[in-house]
Structure 1
Amino acid sequence: MTATRLLILGAVRERGSAHGYQVRRDLESWGVHLWGNIRQGSIYHGLRKLEGEGLLEVVPTTAPAAGPTRTSYGLTEDGERAFVELLEDALRSDEAGLAETIAGVGFITELTRERAIELLRLRVDAYRRRRARVVDEYDRTADEDWGHHVEAVRLWARTADSAVEWTQDLVQRLQDGAYTMRGETRGETRGAAAGRSVTPAGTPSRGR
């Protein structure tokens, strides 16, 4: 639900105000249906729930000449704060799910370049700390028979390594001026590092 909340708030925020059909069309245009499990019903339910929580409010709209009257929503001050908090958590946390992370990346240009880089570096640090704890425990119990459960540790470690590598790569691209971030004029800081490679973090040595 965290990814859905972020996506709905972000979609409404980008338009200034939006009704459910507009939110659905925007999410589809962003390819959310390819990686997220967000159905049409979840969007309308999410809009009503966010309104009930005081994060969205109904805004007046002009009645259409034809077709159904639609309820449009805009962000409240609390909704704006919630959007920023969800966005920053999605980029900073090593515990964010894949859908939440992808949703956060989709709105990363709503942050300043410095803030985005700061959050992504915190993400790398968090992954490295948790990875060290996992691998240390794995090494400490080397004499125990983990059986097939050791594959879960290996999978998590590889996943963490991949997340660190991707995050470092994105940090480098942002440092080199990729994308137009909050407070910047389009193209003024765009760099040429889109293809820069980053050395992957290490992986557990045992069992490879």
Structure 2
Amino acid sequence: MPKRSTENPLALPLMGLLMERPMHPYEMAAVLRERGKDATVRVNRGSLYDVVRTIEAEGWIRATATEREGGRPTRTVYELTPEGRAEFTARLDRQISLPHREYPRFLTAVAYIGALGPEGALAALRERRERLDAIITAERRTLDEVLAAGTVPRLYVIEAEFALHMLDGERAWITAVAEEIRDGTLAWPADPTGSEST
């Protein structure tokens, strides 16, 4: 988790939800999951409540009411403050306009794919391609269902489209590299470790 909860990637979507309407944290988590946002940010109860407390302490959100339904615990409803709206839009502008290098685990692993040898690399890429196919199919179906239901505007789930394009791009790259390994056009050293044979 980032050093400060204000830097937690969950802060932006929580403030974004509160741009729509006041909500309590349990509802925030439910809406994030319903819209598939848990595919892009980790949504767990502990971190969500930590972020809510931190952004409230920053003055970006404030409690407006408490609700209680049946025997459920009392829930605090929050709204975005004017300072929170300014922080949200400034942060959003930065994150959209300024490219930021991210370090996914797959990128790190690909740097050393040669150590698997051609057959091992091909098998690993083939397995990843199959798993990507399943993920893409499931996520595309979920997005289509959400949009078909008509309860959520497309703009609210547009990042799911972006994520699908990213997955499609990764799948296309894997397919091309696997083809190069199969046909021998990707040069492979005799000893992938680079050590001299004696």
TM-score normalised according to structure 2 size: 0.46
Q: Which has the higher contact order (CA 8 A, sep 6+)?
A: 2
Q: Which TM-score applies when normalising by structure 1?
A: 0.44
Say which structure is richer in helix.
Answer: 2
Q: Give the greater-gyration-radius structure (CA).
A: 2
